[in-house]
Structure 1
Amino acid sequence: MAKRMHTAAWARTLERSFSAITRDTLRAGTRAVSRALKPTVDKRRPPPGAGDWIPGMALGPTGARRFRLYRPPDLKFGERLPLMVMLHGCGQDAKSFAMSTRMNRIAARERFLVLYPEQDRLANAQGCWNWFDTTSGRAYGEAALIMKAIDQVCLLYPVDRARIALAGLSAGASMAALLVTRHPERFKAVVMHSGIPPGTAHSTLSALGAMHGRRATMPLMATPVAMAASWPPLMVIHGGVDTVVSANNGHAAVQVWADAAGARASKGRSVQRGQRYPMTVTDFKRRGSTVAKLVEVQRLGHAWSGGAAKHPFSDGDGPDASRMVWAFAAKQFRV
């Protein structure tokens, strides 16, 4: 009898041990799965704030690219809104760029749509737009997919096609400039933040040289009459201590735009807002109209000026680039 009781007690102890091991294993497995899925879950969760975060995909002969569209709240029946196209830099995606720039917050207040095309990591492991790869045609293929995304959004959502602007950071800025050179009539304004002008590189190797300011920029294939009639004005924002993309590229971008339009530089003016980094603003004008604007931000590195603090490629101490982008675009929309 004592032996049977001892055996039963041992069995119950063993069962409890197995149960405890099973529970611990399941908990550890659940935690591991949660950790593994967290980046995917976080990526799908919309940025904070009112409005809609709408997924989409653009398809074309050269492949497919995902995009996200921000739609401000309380749209009125029949309302047509401007569209701001935002092209992220390397190491970013649609959501991280939206959160870094906080452009959605401005869009909610000023009432415009924001399109965030997203580079595929299979096309570039670092998430960079391949703006430089013109020899193989890959750059043009990606530009065509971005145009597909714009066309799709214009078809499905209340976009005022006469009020579309384009802005980008780093590789996104370079892709924005390339896009405008191929479709100048589609945009009212273009903003390059810390980018390289078109015609400066044609391959990976030449892109590296361009980043360090060691490549000459080719003239734009446009006449002054064509520039004045259909090309959008350009604003360049560049950090004075950018060690990733030389500030020489900012100067080259506005100069090539100005040369093509026959514009001349006015005297630069110093501007500082509160405790933010000071900046020098230079306008390039033709017959009183601004063709290009250069904003050189002192003490700013390779980061979105005035962006959300603690986000990669974002410097909260700089003047607010998102506000400058919208103000520049809104002025062109009124013209």
Structure 2
Amino acid sequence: MTRTALRAGARAAEQAVARTVEAVAAASAPPPGAGDWLPGQALGPAGLRRFFLFRPAGVRNDERLPLLVMLHGCGQTAAAFARSTRMNRVAAQGRFLVLYPEQDRAANPQGCWNWYDTRSRHADAEAATLMAAIDQACLLYPVDRDAVALAGLSAGASMAALLAVTYPLRFCALAMHSGVPPGSAHSAAGALAAMHGRHPPVVALATGNLPPLLVIHGRDDGVVSPRNAHAAAEQWAAALGAAQAPPRQIQRGTRRPMTVTDFRRGRRLCVRLCEVEALGHAWSGGAAGMLFSDEKGPDASRLIGRFVATQGANARAAKR
């Protein structure tokens, strides 16, 4: 091989390494916007998981703010999920903290949370590890422990639901975006069937203690069947003794319309189901050009922000 060929090969290798380093750095780069992007790690039964916490600018240590825990979907990192959802922008305006745990690729090569693996107890260990991250955030940052909420996309939504069912008294609200309801699967094969809507949930949820639920799902979702959205809403409503109200159509500006169905027990909102027209498997109203993000849908981050703020206020009022 000639020296010219060797030099060309070396340059190509250097460029490939540089591109890889840039891609890794970009995946973990802090999202844009005012506020602090704080790294951390938590150790639990499933091992070590890193996380990032967004803190709005100007937060004092003597105040207590709500905390929203955001669980990403498969193929995403915590930073990519933050950029896609732009939840930090909502948090800065609404003045709340956001915790972004990140799945370890050694635990799942696709970066999915193992929400379904209850037969081997891996799901329970992962849920306990996420609770360790939440507890650490509550210890280190000015968190109002009566106003901690969960949200997630796809596998993150399903893991968030598992957390809410396992630790219901720890959370004031749950938001599932394009997820599968609890009890639908206990293995990887069962998870695939459940994602296609073939396995309705078989777990009877404990009544009374579950936090209010917001479900957002695209009607054109080809990855997680929209049937799961109805199953989650109906499962939750049955556990809370809530009755379904007539659905209503909502459209803001040129964004995709959605059908909203509430389930109430008396005046209390227990479940809200938002079905978005022409939305696939993507975060509704997310940043353009991002994986699993659709900028044309209703702004899911703002919908979630308003929902959890209301439920957090209700939870604090109930404890006074």
TM-aligned CA distance change 1:233 to 1:29, over 3 Å: same
TM-aligned CA distance change 1:71 to 1:241, over 3 Å: same
Instruction: Kindly indicate whether residue 320 of structure 2 is the aligned counterpart of residue 323 of structure 1.
Output: no
**Shift, 1:231, TM fit:** 2.0
2:317 corresponds to which residue? none
Q: CA separation in 1, counterparts of 2:279 and 2:16? A: 39
Give secondary structure in 2 for the equivalent of 1:299.
Answer: coil
Give secondary structure in 2 for the equivalent of 1:307.
Answer: coil
2:27 corresponds to which residue? 43
TM-aligned CA distance change 1:222 to 1:38, over 3 Å: same
1:70 corresponds to which residue? 54
Deviations 1:135-185 (A, max 9, x none): 000111110111000000000111111111100000000000000000000
Give secondary structure in 2 for the equivalent of 1:332.
Answer: helix
> Of the two structures, which has the highest relative contact order with CA contacts closer than 8 Å and spacing of 6 or more?
2
Q: CA separation in 1, counterparts of 2:159 and 2:121? A: 13
TM-score (norm 2): 0.93
Which AA in structure 1 matches 2:165?
T
Higher helix share: 1
Unaligned residue ranges in structure 1 (runs of 5+):
1-17
**Shift, 1:219, TM fit:** 4.1
**Shift, 1:33, TM fit:** 3.5
2:174 corresponds to which residue? 190
2:318 corresponds to which residue? none
RMSD, matched Cα: 1.8
Instruction: Kindly indicate whether residue 146 of structure 2 is the aligned counterpart of residue 167 of structure 1.
Output: no
Equivalent residue in structure 1 for 2:77, among 85, 93, 99: 93
Instruction: Kindly indicate whether residue 210 of structure 2 is the aligned counterpart of residue 231 of structure 1.
Output: yes
How high is the sequence identity, in percent, across the aligned residues? 60
Give secondary structure in 2 for the equivalent of 1:210.
Answer: helix
1:208 corresponds to which residue? 192
Q: CA separation in 2, counterparts of 1:135 and 1:22? A: 53
Q: Which aligned runs of 4 or more in structure 1 are off by greater than 3 angstroms?
A: 20-33
**Shift, 1:109, TM fit:** 1.3
Instruction: Kindly indicate whether residue 137 of structure 2 is the aligned counterpart of residue 153 of structure 1.
Output: yes
2:98 corresponds to which residue? 114
**Shift, 1:220, TM fit:** 2.8
Q: CA separation in 2, counterparts of 1:93 and 1:116? A: 9
Deviations 1:98-117 (A, max 9, x none): 00000011111111110001
**Shift, 1:25, TM fit:** 8.0
Structure of larger gyration radius: 1
Deviations 1:79-98 (A, max 9, x none): 11110000000111101100
**Shift, 1:74, TM fit:** 1.1
TM-aligned CA distance change 1:34 to 1:241, over 3 Å: same
Aligned residues: 313
Q: CA separation in 1, counterparts of 2:24 and 2:244? A: 48
Deviations 1:282-310 (A, max 9, x none): 00011211111100101101000000011
Task: Assess if the C-alpha contact under 8 Å between 2:261 and 2:273 holds in 1.
Answer: yes
Q: CA separation in 2, counterparts of 1:44 and 1:255? A: 37
Equivalent residue in structure 2 for 1:247, among 222, 226, 241: 226
1:104 corresponds to which residue? 88
Instruction: Kindly indicate whether residue 312 of structure 2 is the aligned counterpart of residue 333 of structure 1.
Output: yes
Q: CA separation in 1, counterparts of 2:128 and 2:67? A: 18
TM-aligned CA distance change 1:22 to 1:221, over 3 Å: closer
**Shift, 1:328, TM fit:** 0.4
2:289 corresponds to which residue? 310
Equivalent residue in structure 2 for 1:289, among 268, 284, 292: 268
Q: CA separation in 2, counterparts of 1:311 and 1:45? A: 14
Give secondary structure in 2 for the equivalent of 1:106.
Answer: helix
Task: Assess if the C-alpha contact under 8 Å between 2:28 and 2:80 holds in 1.
Answer: no
Q: CA separation in 2, counterparts of 1:37 and 1:134? A: 36
**Shift, 1:29, TM fit:** 5.9
**Shift, 1:261, TM fit:** 1.4
TM-score (norm 1): 0.89
TM-aligned CA distance change 1:267 to 1:37, over 3 Å: same
Deviations 1:43-76 (A, max 9, x none): 3421111111111111023311111111111113
2:239 corresponds to which residue? 260
TM-aligned CA distance change 1:200 to 1:77, over 3 Å: closer
**Shift, 1:334, TM fit:** 1.5
Task: Assess if the C-alpha contact under 8 Å between 2:41 and 2:49 holds in 1.
Answer: yes
Task: Assess if the C-alpha contact under 8 Å between 1:84 and 1:113 holds in 2.
Answer: yes
1:83 corresponds to which residue? 67
**Shift, 1:330, TM fit:** 0.5
Q: CA separation in 2, counterparts of 1:23 and 1:209? A: 52
